[in-house]
Amino acid sequence: MPEGDSIFRAARTLHRALAGKRVTAFDSVVPALTRVHQDAPITGRTIESVSAAGKHVLMSFSGDLLLRTHMRMNGSWHIYRKGERWQRPRRDMRIVVATEDFEAVGFNIPVAEMLKGRPSSGNVLRTLGPDLLSDDFDRDEALRRMRSQRDVEVADVLLDQRVLAGIGNVYKSEVLFMCGINPFVPIRLLDDADLARIVDVSRTTLRQNVTGHLAPMTTFRGMRRTTGRDDPSSRLWIYSRGRLPCRKCGTPISVRAQGRHARLTYWCDTCQPVRQTDT
């Protein structure tokens, strides 16, 4: 699943290509979107902005319409110049938003809805926690929401978008390793300094992965790094390195499924020890 940094980069690229431009063509195989287009055509509207909110891409159109998409595991947005050949088959297309110069194509996007005006109080956007990549990130609110999850294991809390928006399975393991915190410890056993370190490292790490030099018109996810190393084989500390030696101490990296969705968690038993009060 794309994480907050990937979604942020995709939204930024789409904004560069589309913002301020008039929609010349709109197409979708999503029934809810086609109904909106039939009743209130998207064609002719101006794309006002494209932004990210956690793992959601938000495309705003004139006339107070907002297209919300969520990529889940396999979805992606591509941007093509007019006449350029798509890199995915047409059968994977879910949404097309075209302007005079560019064509934004959403492939295999499983969640897409058109919202009128501000999102309703029941909409998923209203339930998101503070967005780690937002300029107005509310650190105190993030800490409050984390502390409220007293009996939940910290790794699962980091995946809860209602607590912190933007972290996925890769950053979950990487951030906790960087903080030296065991992923299975419940929140109630972490002190304020622990929680503050987790939030600060999460925000810093995600921001570092969206501020690099990027091609101006690509929505590709890029090469995520947490170690700061340029070698592609050394870019992550522990994720997807089960049974390989820890880059810091040499202990074999442990891995096991965690949480109700059985997402894989990676950790180092030496660098992230179980505390005496964790048992």
Copy the structure tokens of residue 237: 């500390």
Active site residue 116: no
The residue type found at 231 is D
What is the rounded CA–CA span in Å between residue 180 and residue 49? Answer: 39
The strand pairing partners of 47, in sequence order, are 61
C-alpha 93, offset from chain centre: 21
Active site residue 55: yes
Q: Which of 2, 9, 172, 225 is catalytic?
A: 2
Active site residue 2: yes
Active site residue 216: no
Q: Which of 3, 48, 153, 174 is catalytic?
A: 3
Q: Which of 9, 48, 55, 174 is catalytic?
A: 55
How is the chain split among helix, strand and coil, in percent rounded to 5? Answer: 30, 25, 45
What distances in angstroms separate CA 85 from CA 78, 80, 90, 105, 222, one per listed residue?
Answer: 11, 8, 11, 11, 21
Query: E strands of the chain, at which residues?
Result: 25-28, 47-53, 56-61, 65-70, 76-81, 93-98, 102-107, 111-116, 254-258, 263-267
| Among candidate residues 231, 278, 260, the one with its CA nearest the CA of residue 269 | 278
What is the rounded CA–CA span in Å between residue 52 and residue 61? Answer: 15
Residue 230 has a CB neighbour count (10 Å cut-off) of: 9
Q: Which of 21, 45, 197, 263 is catalytic?
A: 263
Active-site residues, by number, are 2-3, 55, 263
